[in-house]
Amino acid sequence: MKKSLFLIVCCTLNALLLTGQNRTVIICGNLIDGISETARANTVILVEGERIVRVGTRDLIAPGDSIVDLSGYTVMPGLIDMHVHPNLNVSDYQISHLKGSSAHKALVGLKAVQDLLAAGWTTLRVAGDGDVGYANMDIRDAINNGLFKGPRIYGAGHYLSISGGGGDINFLSHEQELIPDGLIVDGPEEMRKAVRREIKYGSDWIKVLVTGAFMSAGDNPNNVHMSSEELKMAVEEAARRDVPVMAHAHAAEGIKMAVKAGARTIEHGSFIDEEAMNLMIQHGTWLIPTLSVSTYYEGTEDAYLQKAKEIRKQRKESMYRNYQLARRKGVKFGLGSDFVGWPAPYSGNEFAEYLKLGFTPMQAIITATAVNAQILKKETEIGTLEAGKYADIIATKGNPLDDISEMTRVKFVMKGGEIIKNEGL
């Protein structure tokens, strides 16, 4: 009796394993898996629950499977944007955090991250955000708790800035002491406290503004704002909690200081020189140049952005030459757009800019998927399409290897096995 019961249990288990439950098979026209340097034809992806079980051929299809036919599409891993600010508003970002409550910011930011998800960005890293509180962490927690659909979110609550730096408000009189969008930190001990506070309220990255910025009023991206003592403290204190540091740095000297202090990524790196490139290669630091944001303010008449527009005009050619040289020398690149509230498909323009730096379309896509996952230390979970990974899968109608602008027209999005968007299928 016991033996036959055992057999029945075994057979049932076997049948479940063979036919599975919640099995979805995605038929891929063209597959970019994030690993191979070439696309593959005639493949299917078997998804069970929230994970990929197998990538193989059509003989994986079993009776009862739900089929998603993407045979006319190019299928690839969900995109990862390493630099977004869902709570910022490009036209008045330095004061927009004062206009709405943190609750309001959470609603606005939720809409922004959902739009990014629908555009193919299944994972985001927030590079500090424009809220007095921690709305972006609330958005992340609400999504992770299943209250709302949205992308995977990592990142920092705020950018840490010195007094008078890019995270401060520098255009009002001293009688008007308003709360700035950044967290103001002066000296190593204030840095220690700020890092601890950021982590306490949910940041899993620390963001520091090492140099001045393009977009903020009253500061200069050529100036190095933070001292090496402050930077060292930021990295050391964050490391105690296994939290990496992303360093906004335009001026070459600021890049070098951040690399030496142990930052994991350099954001922007606009005025990088060869010495800084060599240091980045030596330390294995990633560069995230965030090119979309500059192309955005190139065309704007917005008064707030005239400073950024002017610097961009003067330095654009030398910046692109620097990035091209950095790539040729072997500096490791990640990919992030610096999303600041523009219409979501805009972030996909980052890929076309990478081609100008000398990346092939395939290299740019692998950077935005497998490489970005590695920077996040999530490479066992996301970034490629292979067995065991989350089923974060997107598709375009045309082939982005032939026309990279396809990356701004993502037609199909699945996150963790759930179909988020299925346009025209």
Q: Which of 126/365 has CB closer to Zn ion?
A: 126
Choose the binding region for Zn ion from 197-205, 253-261, 337-345, 365-373 (rule: CB under 5 A).
337-345
CB of 339 to Zn ion, least distance (A): 8
Q: Which of 43/337 has CB closer to Zn ion?
A: 337
Choose the binding region for Zn ion from 251-259, 334-342, 347-355, 412-420 (rule: CB under 5 A).
334-342
CB of 293 to Zn ion, least distance (A): 7
Question: Of residues 138, 338, 353, 392, which one binds Zn ion by CB under 5 A?
Answer: 338
Interacting residues with Zn ion between 88 and 147 (CB under 5 A): 127
CB of 201 to Zn ion, least distance (A): 20
Nearest to 151 by CA among 126, 122, 120: 122
- Cβ proximity of 48 and 17 under 8 Å: no
Q: How far apart are the first and last CA of the chain?
A: 51
CB of 24 to Zn ion, least distance (A): 36
Say which DSSP state 405 is in.
G
Task: Tell me the C-alpha distance between 357 and 367, whole Å.
Answer: 13
Q: Which of 127/185 has CB closer to Zn ion?
A: 127
Q: On the CB side of 221, how many CA atoms lie within 13 Å of its CA?
A: 21
Q: Which of 85/415 has CB closer to Zn ion?
A: 85
Give the binding-site size for Zn ion (rule: CB under 5 A): 2
CB of 392 to Zn ion, least distance (A): 23
Nearest to 263 by CA among 230, 291, 293, 290: 230
Comparing every residue's Cβ against Zn ion, the nearest one is 338
CB of 250 to Zn ion, least distance (A): 11
Backbone φ, ψ for residue 337 (5° rounding):
-100, -20
Please tell me whether residue 335 binds Zn ion under the rule CB under 5 A: no
- Burial class of residue 3 in the structure, from the number of CB atoms within 10 Å of its CB (0-12 exposed, 13-18 middle, 19+ buried): exposed
CB of 53 to Zn ion, least distance (A): 37
Choose the binding region for Zn ion from 3-11, 37-45, 184-192, 331-339 (rule: CB under 5 A).
331-339
Task: Tell me the C-alpha distance between 32 and 407, whole Å.
Answer: 13
Choose the binding region for Zn ion from 116-124, 277-285, 301-309, 338-346 (rule: CB under 5 A).
338-346
The helix, strand and coil proportions of the chain, stated in percent and rounded to the nearest 5, come to 40, 25, 40
Q: Which of 127/364 has CB closer to Zn ion?
A: 127
Q: Which of 23/268 has CB closer to Zn ion?
A: 268
Q: Which of 125/327 has CB closer to Zn ion?
A: 125
Collapsing DSSP states into helix, strand and coil, what is residue 157?
coil
CB of 94 to Zn ion, least distance (A): 13
**b/e string for 261-296 if b means 16 or more Cβ within 10 A?**
bbbbbbbbbbbbbeebbebbeeeebbbbbbbbbbbb
Q: Report CA 83 to chain centroid distance, whole Å.
A: 5
Q: Which of 73/214 has CB closer to Zn ion?
A: 214
Task: Tell me the C-alpha distance between 336 and 287, whole Å.
Answer: 10
Residues that bind Zn ion (CB under 5 A): 127, 338
